[in-house]
Amino acid sequence: MSVIRVGNCSGYYGDRIGAMREMLTGGDLDYLTGDYLAELTMLILGRDRMKDDSLGYAKTFVRQMTESMGLAKECGVKIVANAGGLNPAALAAKLREIAADQGLEIAIAHVEGDDLVARADELGFGEVMTANAYLGAFGIAAALQGGADVVVTGRVTDASVVVGPAIAHFGWGRDDLDRLAGAVVAGHVIECGTQATAGNFAGFTHVDMSTPLGFPIAEIADDGTCVITQHAGTGGTTTVDTVTAQLVYEVGSPLYLGPDVATRLDTMTLSQVGPDRVAIDGVVGEAPPATTKVCLNAFGGFRNSVEFLLTGLDVPEKAALIQAQMEAALAEGTRPETVEWHLDRTDTPDPATQAQATSLLRLHVKSARPDPVGRAFSDAAIQLALASYPGFSVSRPPAAGTPYGIYRPAYVPQTEVPHVVVHADGRREDIAPPSATGANHPATGAETDDSPSQNLPSAPLAEGSAPLGEWVGETVRSPLGRLAYARSGDKGGDANVGVWIPADHPARDDAYAWLVGFLDDATVRELLPEAALLDIEIHPLPNLAAVNIVIHGLLGEGVASSTRLDPQAKGLGEWLRARDCAIPSTLLPHHVAEAAL
């Protein structure tokens, strides 16, 4: 069966700069891809473009290509990346300059049409800085089929940079839904780089992390199945659990919607087929929605913050004193529209160090105008230094107020979004939207990685497993993480936590049966009190022995405006794993169960 090897060299804007060269020299590849975009990145690139309209693309990609473009040509590896951001045409032109300077004959194409900011009023977006629709993979495929050695895009779905090469190589059409869905899964696994090879992995203590982690590779077959692997001799590892960690990252319901295909995340099967080799098969695809998602970033106003250090005894009283003093000071001037207080009790009894004696009281302010959160706010905090609680201290002096952005999604018909390939010779090719779409998909449904919720039937439990919500036998108090792994992340203002039973658990079916019954709505709200008043969805993923929890609104108006200590929810899963629960002793490792008794 024909197979292509598609590697990744970037999971975000700012990832390891040498990864492109490492991937090109580390072993055989047919395609090398990179993901440089996120909601926050689009805001950063929008600011770049406001300062200089020739910018708006990922400048680190230019550095990588300056070093490695000739090497890729020599190796016969085609490059596909979404590094074009808000200005893929300018990035393509810059790459052509570099190729000319180096005497290289390289065909560079780009994909555009996603930028809808000029049509914001027409489409009802309001006043926004950026408005970018998520395009699919068929434009990338057309560029490759047209002879491109390098394809750069604006905002496409993260997996599209992987799906496009598969379409181009195998000649798949719009109706090859299972194949497309399989490639989407492959793309979702490798899009975040080393997160698939033990980066940010809850089981990291069982992995040799002494050398830089290798970037992942998807070996994609003509039937849409794939094997996830990495170059021989690179750091980290590729296992069922490291791949599962990425599969449950930043997803919503089991129906993962995209502009090319709706992928059923509850149908796949993972198996370890060799060292650092995980096979994925059985993925089912359905017709895509008629709409696609649009990432909107708007100017939110100005913000500032100060973090008071409260040390020793009487922490609540100290917090109350400085809060009352600051509130009185803010009332004397123009009060910011938003004033938020967060007390983090990080102190411990009988502290052996001053750090163990210290709690954090964080004050965040926001305003539509800079003055209320500027010098007056900073002065109010510092002028209390000798007139407030004993041990007054701040983690850093308050600075000037800074602008911030807010994120929100919108949804438009795919027929309203241009999808244009600009080939290396300048020829423009329009890519038609899918003609068949899923009638049962919600009107707003479009994917990136945060598909709208759908109540889908879940697969049955393994035969012989305990019924949901029931368990007979002794339980002990233990952190949930002694039984389960987790991975969490952000999508706009929402957060998700995927929790799963490790693949090597000797009674994995029974452990999963307990987990899926235990993590109900009431229990999640109890374990994560910050989510107690928010909308929560819980989706079982039996084939992965996983449960996906989506918490709507935890991050407010998105990462750029969030005031949480962890604004991207990257540590949310580790917090959940640290919570003590009543876990059946027979499901825990023997030494953990014994210690808990």
pTM confidence score: 0.93
- The two tokens of residue 232 are 């021989």
Please name which of 537, 554, 568, 446 lies closest in space to residue 192, comparing C-alpha atoms: 568
Q: Which 3 state secondary structure label does DSSP give 55?
A: coil
Q: For the chain, what are the domain ranges?
A: 3-294+409-430, 296-406, 475-596
Amino acid at 286: E
**Ramachandran category for residue 88: left, alpha or beta (phi over 0 → left; psi -120 to 50 → alpha):** alpha
Mean pLDDT, rounded, of the chain: 92
Pairing of strands 226-230, 255-257: unpaired
Least confident of 354-368, 383-397, 447-461, 507-521: 447-461
466 or 479, which is more confident: 479
pLDDT at 382 over 60: yes
Q: How far apart are CA 151 and CA 173, in angstroms?
A: 20
pLDDT at 575 over 60: yes
Q: What is the mean pLDDT of residues 549-558?
A: 94
**For residue 1, what pLDDT band results from cuts at 50, 70 and 90?**
confident
**For residue 596, what pLDDT band results from cuts at 50, 70 and 90?**
low
Question: pLDDT > 90: what percent of the chain?
Answer: 87
Q: How far apart are CA 337 and CA 342, in angstroms?
A: 17
pLDDT at 450 over 80: no
pLDDT tens for residues 261-293? 999 999 999 999 999 999 999 999 999 999 999
pLDDT at 465 over 50: no
pLDDT at 318 over 60: yes
pLDDT at 449 over 90: no
**For residue 445, what pLDDT band results from cuts at 50, 70 and 90?**
very low
Q: How far apart are CA 172 and CA 187, in angstroms?
A: 16
> Beta partners for 132?
115, 295
**For residue 451, what pLDDT band results from cuts at 50, 70 and 90?**
very low
pLDDT at 345: 95
Taking 3-state DSSP, the helix, strand and coil percentages for the chain, each rounded to the nearest 5, stand at: 30, 25, 45
Handedness of CA 418, 422, 426, 427 (dihedral sign): negative
* Contacts of residue 53, Cβ cutoff 8 Å, sequence gap at least 6: none
pLDDT tens for residues 9-33? 999 999 999 999 999 999 999 999 9
**For residue 398, what pLDDT band results from cuts at 50, 70 and 90?**
confident
**For residue 471, what pLDDT band results from cuts at 50, 70 and 90?**
low
pLDDT at 160 over 50: yes
Domain 296-406 bears CATH identifier 3.40.50: no
